[in-house]
């Protein structure tokens, strides 16, 4: 257990671990609380976990899941539609995609997300780039990890994610 002095007192960051099927209730509860305007079904989380377990991690708290992240490979600039099932991962996937990440308010500001990112970007190293859809004005947060807004035309794909959705990409190599 790592302890970080956040200025407001020592905060426990804990260790991220691989997500299991019996974590899904806790993951769904945190997802619903974190993304009330972008709901996704249990089936979406369960499918991503089944298709790409190494990209799915959780952070345990005293009373359940206090963080999760879901990621998997995609074809470049082809993020899944909101709420869509993939059925399978593309055999010609050429971009790593961070589908979602959330940390419970009680655990924010202590480096938990940064710790999850270090783990996910380790998996992403097999691909030239990593991408994600930034929402809720998180461009500043993601830019800390090397993501920049793409110049690619993505408006139609981003529309369901809301007016502030921005597709961001980071090079994994070089
Ligand atoms: C965004 C989120 C995952 C960050 O989690 P966190 O555990 O608080 O993040 P960390 O403590 O690891 O922060 C890492 C760095 O980013 C900074 N940061 C955190 N949130 C930020 C934000 N919204 N904008 C800019 N910088 C931010 C931190 O200050 C920290 O900087 P430092 O290394 O200089 O101290 C969390 O606020 C969250 O779950 N929000 C709701 C869901 C969400 O927005 N998910 C992403 C949708 S695309």
Alpha carbons 138 and 160: distance in angstroms, whole number: 17
Tell me if 69 CB under 6 Å of ligand 1: no
Domain for residue 129, yes or no?
Answer: yes
40-93, pLDDT tens digit by residue? Answer: 999 999 999 999 999 999 999 999 999 999 999 999 999 999 999 999 999 999
Give the confidence band of 2 by pLDDT, cuts at 50, 70, 90.
Answer: very low
69-107 in b/e burial notation, b at 16+ Cβ within 10 A? bbbbbbebbebbebeeeeeeeeeebebbbbbbbbbbeeb
Alpha carbons 90 and 82: distance in angstroms, whole number: 17
Write the CATH number for 129: 3.40.630.30
The number of domains in the chain is 1
Cα-Cα-Cα-Cα dihedral sign, residues 17, 20, 25, 27: positive
Domain for residue 64, yes or no?
Answer: yes
Domain for residue 11, yes or no?
Answer: no
Domain carrying residue 133? 16-171
Tell me if 136 CB under 6 Å of ligand 1: yes
Domain for residue 54, yes or no?
Answer: yes
The residue-averaged pLDDT of 19-42 equals: 96
Domain for residue 66, yes or no?
Answer: yes
Q: Which atom of ligand 1 is nearest to the CA of 140?
A: 25
Cα-Cα-Cα-Cα dihedral sign, residues 70, 44, 88, 86: negative
Q: Whole-model pTM?
A: 0.92
- Ligand 1, atom 29: closest residue by C-alpha: 109
Domain for residue 8, yes or no?
Answer: no
Copy the structure tokens of residue 156. Answer: 């139609």
Domain for residue 4, yes or no?
Answer: no
> Residue 65 has what DSSP assignment?
E
């Amino acid at each position: 257990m790592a302890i970080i002095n956040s200025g407001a007192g020592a905060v426990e960051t804990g260790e991220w671990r691989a997500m299991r099927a019996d974590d899904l209730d806790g993951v769904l509860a945190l997802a619903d609380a974190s993304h009330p305007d972008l709901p996704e079904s249990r089936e979406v989380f369960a499918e991503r976990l089944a298709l790409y377990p190494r990209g799915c991690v959780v952070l345990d708290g005293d009373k359940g899941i206090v963080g999760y992240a879901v990621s998997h490979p995609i074809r470049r600039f082809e993020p899944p539609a909101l709420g869509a099932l993939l059925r399978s991962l593309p055999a010609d996937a050429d971009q790593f995609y961070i589908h979602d990440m959330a940390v419970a308010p009680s655990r924010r500001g202590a480096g938990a997300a940064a710790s999850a990112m270090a783990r996910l970007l380790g998996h992403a190293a097999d691909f030239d780039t990593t991408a994600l859809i930034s929402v809720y004005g998180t461009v500043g947060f993601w830019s800390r990890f090397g993501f920049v807004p793409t110049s690619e035309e993505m408006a139609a794909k981003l529309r369901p994610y809301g007016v502030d959705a921005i597709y961001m990409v980071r090079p994994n190599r070089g």
